Amino acid sequence: MAVVHGKEGVIKAGGSAIGDVTGFTLETTGDVVETTCLGESVKSFTAGTTSFSGSIDMNFNGASGTPTQTTLTAGSSIAFIVYPEGASSGDRTFTGSGIITGMSTNNSLDAMVTRSVTFQGTGALTISTV
């Protein structure tokens, strides 16, 4: 079984790599709908709709050289490609669109200033390879 180091990951928004990313999460979920009828003693379910959401963590960089980071604000739309294994031929990708649901900037006396962004996917999440 092949393993992949986290440093290989890349996330792009609007076709450009987001600068200074330190980590990201992409979560997919599937709803289930109960189909149990009266008189049955065991519950049954069927697959419902699916959705996805995620977060992006980065070192804060508001410089003009990182436009994708400065445009990730609450309420804005995002078209993204997540490359968890890197962007080499054969590496897996996740492509989708979403809405930024939150953005926080974190500052501490003895640490880097960081920024975190959360998003809710809209539409389908496409899984493919580079």
Report residues of the chain scoring pLDDT below 50: none
pLDDT at 113: 93
Domains in the chain: how many in total? Answer: 1
Please name every residue paired with 51 in a beta bridge, in sequence order, or none if there are none: 29
Q: Which range of residues forms the domain containing residue 21?
A: 6-129
pLDDT at 65: 57
**Angle, vertex CA 20, rays to CA 15 and CA 24, nearest 5:** 75
Non-local CB neighbours of 97 within 8 Å, separated by 6+ positions: 77, 78, 79, 80, 121, 122, 123
Residue 33: which CATH number? 2.30.110
Q: What are phi and psi of 7, to 5 degrees?
A: -65, -15
Residue 76 maps to a domain: yes
Neighbour tally for 37: CB within 10 Å:
7
Quick one: what percent of the chain has pLDDT higher than 70?
95
pLDDT at 15: 84
